[in-house]
Amino acid sequence: MEAIILAGGFGTRLRPLTYTRAKSLLPILNKPMITYLINMLPDKVDKVILAVNYRKKQIEDYFKKNDFGMKIIVNDEPKPLGTGGAVKFAERYITDSFFVLNSDIICSLNLDEMIKFHMKNNAVSTISLWPVDNVSEFGVADVRDDGNIIGFVEKPKPEDAPSDFINAGAYFLEPEILDYIETGRLVSMEKEIFPKIIKDTGRFFGHKFEGYWMDIGRISSYKEAHNFLLEKQGINNYQGDNCEIKGSLRKSCIGNNVHIGKNSKLESTIVYDNAIIGENVVLSGCIIGENSKIGSFSSIKNSVLGDNEKLADNSNINERIVWTQPTPEGYPDKQIGNVIEQ
């Protein structure tokens, strides 16, 4: 069985972290985001197709160095193709029913249970569904008690919402779905293809699950994912190898080869590999990029430093993104073809 993982986005809402790395390789507790998804795949999935565009070589290099016990194909899209276009571009690798998964979702979804639900209902398409409090921010599923979805309502008023369930970014599909997708252009599975399947087949289902669901699409949700997983694992901090920590940590994640000077205090902060933090530094709610350096007696709050950035002694920064280097060539200034459009 195959799984297509959509990993082609630029991750513009996570810049400057994504100026230097693929969004799917952003570390969460020092492990690339995409590995959480791969590790939750059912045993019957023996082939993973990674739909990529931005920083393809970086992704290829990672999977050459790391074995996950299955065949992994990096499928280089010539241009951003959206969810539907990316699936169609991987058509030659599909042999039977298959998963389509968004690479920046961390959740408790049981994919084996999703397959069973799909088979029980003789579905053509099954999508994961997650309940939300504020339905007016999303496309909401009009779902019957048996899980049959008869449509979606875009950003309804609470009193007009057919349910509180939204598309949670995991799909289990039959190969006939591929016939609905036009080749070679950007296609939204959610806006263009799903409505046709609902109309033509009536066999479009939603699988509800419980536990947790996080869309790591913004700096705020990226930090929240760290906090959630630290709490879930019952640990106060997460620390990589070969670190020299002379200060104190609270609810923070530290990468490999990190130096933190005397009397420095870090709270709810993520530090990437090879960073150097001087003495008497206060970091709160920050993300510090790889190979970055922060001078002594600095105070940084709710800010993000990109890779290779340097701050002088006595720096005082609050709620800023620090990036002093050129923006990578071809990097867009806004999102291109959302991977999930709820």
Which pLDDT score is estimated for 211? 94
Which pLDDT score is estimated for 9? 83
How much is the average pLDDT of 12-31?
95
Q: Which of 118, 122, 156 is nearest to 139 (CA)?
A: 156
Calpha distance 139→136 (Å, rounded): 8
pTM of the full predicted structure? 0.90
| 261 contacts: CB under 8 Å, gap ≥ 6 | 246, 247, 277, 278, 279, 280, 281, 296
Q: In the block, which residue shows the tokens 């950003």?
A: 155
How much is the average pLDDT of 191-216?
94
Which pLDDT score is estimated for 333? 78
Q: What is the sign, positive or negative, of the torsion defined by CA atoms of 134, 131, 141, 164?
A: negative
Residue 336 has pLDDT above 80, yes or no: no
Calpha distance 230→58 (Å, rounded): 27
Q: Which of 48, 57, 52, 73 is nearest to 8 (CA)?
A: 52
Q: Spell out the domains of the chain, with CATH numbers in brackets.
A: 2-219 (3.90.550.10), 236-322 (2.160.10.10)
Calpha distance 91→184 (Å, rounded): 12
Residue 146 has pLDDT above 60, yes or no: yes
Which pLDDT score is estimated for 338? 44
Calpha distance 247→241 (Å, rounded): 16
% the chain with pLDDT above 70: 97
Which pLDDT score is estimated for 342? 35
Q: How confident is the model at residue 175 (pLDDT cuts 50, 70, 90)?
A: very high
Helix (H, G, I), strand (E, B) or coil at 24: helix
Calpha distance 342→154 (Å, rounded): 8
Cβ atoms of 26 and 32 closer than 8 Å? yes
Which pLDDT score is estimated for 340? 38
Which pLDDT score is estimated for 137? 82
Q: How confident is the model at residue 117 (pLDDT cuts 50, 70, 90)?
A: very high
Q: What is the pLDDT of residues 279-296, one digit of tens each?
A: 999 999 999 999 999 999
Calpha distance 21→56 (Å, rounded): 10
Does residue 332 have a cis peptide bond before it, meaning omega lies within 30 degrees of 0? no
Query: What are the distances in angstroms from CA 309 to CA 2, 15, 110, 249, 330?
Result: 40, 14, 40, 22, 21
Instruction: Work out the mean pLDDT of the chain and round it to a whole number.
Output: 92
**What residues act catalytically?**
155
Which pLDDT score is estimated for 334? 66
Which pLDDT score is estimated for 258? 98
Residues forming a β-bridge with 213: 107
Residue 318 backbone phi and psi in degrees, to 5: -140, 125
When computed from its CA atoms, the radius of gyration of the chain, rounded to whole angstroms, is 21
Q: How confident is the model at residue 335 (pLDDT cuts 50, 70, 90)?
A: low
Count CB-CB contacts under 10 A for residue 226: 21
Dihedral Cα 203, 206, 207, 211, nearest 10 deg: 180
Q: What is the pLDDT of residues 295-313, one digit of tens each?
A: 999 999 999 999 999 999 9
Residue 339 has pLDDT above 60, yes or no: no
How much is the average pLDDT of 150-164?
88
